[in-house]
Amino acid sequence: NLGHRSTAEVHQHETPVHRLDTASGAIERVIVAGPSPGWVHDHQAEHVDGRIIISGGKIVHDRDDGESDIVAHTARFALDLKTRTWHRLD
The distance of Cα 1 from the centroid of its chain, to the nearest Å, equals 12
In tens, the pLDDT along 35-83 reads 989 888 899 999 999 999 999 999 887 789 988 888 999 999 999 999 9
Mean pLDDT throughout 28-36?
Answer: 93
The whole-number pLDDT of residue 59 equals 86
Cβ pair 31, 45 in contact under 8 A? no
| Nearest alpha carbon to residue 38 among 60, 7, 55 | 60
4 or 28: which carries more pLDDT confidence?
A: 28
pTM here is: 0.78
Predicted confidence at residue 10, as pLDDT, reads: 47
More confident residue, 1 or 17: 17
